[in-house]
């Protein structure tokens, strides 16, 4: 009987700790999600597992960051391709109004900019302040990407 009580106490403490950790993560802007964690870690298997488990492909954290944003900001092409193959919305903006294309433009990542534009990322989307991916590239001093985004912008209009 004492053993069962001990197991119950340990289980309750474990659940309480998990809830505490989850609350702390959410306060920091992180929503525990296998899909988001996998996108950030370039874990294609984890992304596919999360999708099989029913995770919404367009899930975001408290700051509006999607899996595409984590993949782009980490420079993870394989995870970005897995998300695109699963149908992620590449035009979904975070709470600041920034899209994955804006992140790629700011980083000067021509390859990721190409992948995003080739998969219908919209370069005409602007932040609430009216800033586009092209202007992000200009502000970041990314000459090559600026020209590339500008060509994508012209093609997409």
Judged against a pLDDT cut of 70, whether residue 149 lies above it is answered with no
What whole-number distance in Å separates Cα of residue 67 and Cα of residue 13?
A: 32
- The full DSSP string for 64-109 is --BHHHHHHHHT-HHHHHHHHHTT--TT---TTS--HHHHHHHHT-
* Measured distance between the N- and C-terminal CA atoms of the chain, rounded to whole angstroms: 72
What is the overall mean pLDDT for the chain?
79
Mean pLDDT to the nearest integer, 1-29: 43
Instruction: Look at residue 30 in the predicted model and tell me its pLDDT.
Output: 56
If you compute the radius of gyration of the chain from its CA atoms, what whole number of angstroms results?
19
Q: For 37, which DSSP code?
A: H
- Distance CA(140)–CA(114), nearest Å, equals 18
Q: Is the pTM of this model over 0.85?
A: no
At 46-88, the pLDDT tens digits run 999 999 999 999 999 999 999 999 999 999 999 999 999 999 9
């Amino acid at each position: 009987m004492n053993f069962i009580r001990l197991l119950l106490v340990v289980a309750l403490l474990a659940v309480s700790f998990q809830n505490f950790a989850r609350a702390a993560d959410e306060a920091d802007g992180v929503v525990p999600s296998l899909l988001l964690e996998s996108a950030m870690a370039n874990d294609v298997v984890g992304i596919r597992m999360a999708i099989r488990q029913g995770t919404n492909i367009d899930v975001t954290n408290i700051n509006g960051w999607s899996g595409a944003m984590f993949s782009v900001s980490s420079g993870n092409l394989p995870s970005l391709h897995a998300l695109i193959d699963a149908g992620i919305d590449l035009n979904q903006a975070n709470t600041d109004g920034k899209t994955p294309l804006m992140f790629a433009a700011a980083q000067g990542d021509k390859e990721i900019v190409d992948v995003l534009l080739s998969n219908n990322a919209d370069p005409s989307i602007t932040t609430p302040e009216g800033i586009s991916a092209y202007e992000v590239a200009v502000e970041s001093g990314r000459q090559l990407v600026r020209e590339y985004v500008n060509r994508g912008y012209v093609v997409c209009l």
